[in-house]
Structure 1
Amino acid sequence: MAKVARMYHERGLRQSEIAAELHISQPRVSRLLKRAVELGVVRITISVPSGVHTDLEDALEARFGLAEAVVTDTGSSDADDEGSVERALGAAAAVYLETTLIGGDSIGISSWSSTLLAAVEAMRPSTGQVVEEVVQLVGGVGDPRVQVEATRLLSSFASATGATPVFLPAPGLLGSSQARESLMGDPSVTQVTAHWAALTTALVGIGTLDPSPLLRSSGNGISDADQDQLRTLGAVGDVCLRFFDAEGVPVASGLDERVIGVSAADLRRIPRRIAVAGGVRKVSAIRGALRGGWANVLVTDVTAAQVLLGG
Structure 2
Amino acid sequence: MTEASPRLSAGQVRLLTKVARMYHERGLRQPEIATSLHISQPRVSRLLKRAVELGIVRTIVISPRGVYADLEEAVERRYGVSEVVVADTGDETDEQRILPALASAAAVYLETTLTGGERVGISSWSSTLLAAVEAMQPRPVRATDEVVQVLGGMGVVTAQATATRLTGRLAQVTGGNAVYLPAPGLVASSLTRDGLVADQAIADVLRAWRHLTLLLAGIGSLEPSPLLRQSGNAIAETEMGHLRRLGAVGDVCLRFFDEHGAHITTPFEDRLVGIGADVLRRVPRRVGVAGGERKYNAIRAALLGGWVNVLITDHRVAERLAAEG
TM-score (norm 1): 0.94
Residue type matched to 1:65 in 2?
Answer: G
| Matched residue, 2:226 | 213
Partner in structure 2 of residue 47 of structure 1 = 62
Deviations, residues 35-76 of structure 1 (Å, cap 9, x unaligned): 21232322323222111111110111011111111101224x
User: Partner residue of 1:143?
Assistant: 156
1:260 corresponding residue in structure 2: 273
Structure 1 pair 97–29 and aligned structure 2 pair: CA distance change class (3 A): same
Give yes or no for contact 2:30–2:41 (8 Å, CA) kept in 1: no
Q: 1:65 aligns with which of 80, 87, 97?
A: 80
Q: Name the % identity.
A: 56
Q: Is the 8 A contact 2:129 2:217 kept in 1?
A: yes
Q: How does 1:271-282 map to 2 (within 5 A)?
A: 271-282=284-295
Tell which structure's C-alpha radius of gyration is larger. 2
Q: C-alpha separation between the residues in 2 aligned to 1:227 and 1:207?
A: 13
1:13-32 equivalences under 5 Å are 13-15=28-30, 18=33, 22-24=38-40, 26=42, 28-32=43-47
Of the three residues 18, 25, 43, the one matched with 1:10 is 25
In 2, the alpha carbon distance for the partners of 1:166 and 1:111 equals 12
2:106 corresponds, among 93, 113, 131, to 93
Per-residue deviation, 1:193:
1.1
Partner-residue secondary structure (3-state), 2:147 = strand
> Which of 35, 53, 57 lines up with 2:50 in the alignment?
35
Aligned residue for 2:257, secondary structure, equals: strand
**Partner SS state of residue 33, structure 1:** helix
Report the equivalent of 1:291: 304
Number of residues of Structure 1 aligned to a counterpart in Structure 2: 308
After superposition, give the CA deviation of every residue in 1:141-182 in whole Å (9 maximum; x if it has no partner): 111122111111111111111111000000001111121122
Shift, 1:11, TM fit: 4.0
Cα drift, residue 17 of structure 1: 6.1
Give the Cα–Cα distance (whole angstroms) in 1 for the partners of residues 218 and 169 of structure 2: 17
Q: Is the 8 A contact 2:209 2:275 kept in 1?
A: yes
**Structure 1 stretches lacking a partner, 5+ long:** none
Which residue identity lines up with residue 305 of structure 1 in the other structure? Answer: A
CA RMSD in angstroms comes to 1.6
Measured in 2, the distance between the counterparts of 1:305 and 1:86 equals 15
SS of the aligned residue for 2:228 comes to helix
- Structure 2 distance, partners of 1:231, 1:272, is 29
The aligned amino acid for 1:105 is E
Structure 1 distance, partners of 2:167, 2:34, is 56
Give the SS at the match of 2:210: helix
Q: Partner of 1:40: helix, strand, or coil?
A: coil
Partner of 2:125: 112
Task: Answer whether contact 2:92 2:98 (CA < 8 A) is retained.
Answer: no
1:226 corresponds to which letter in structure 2? E
Does the 8 Å CA contact 2:216/2:287 hold for their aligned counterparts?
Answer: yes
Equivalent runs, 1:123-134 vs 2, <5 Å: 123-134=136-147
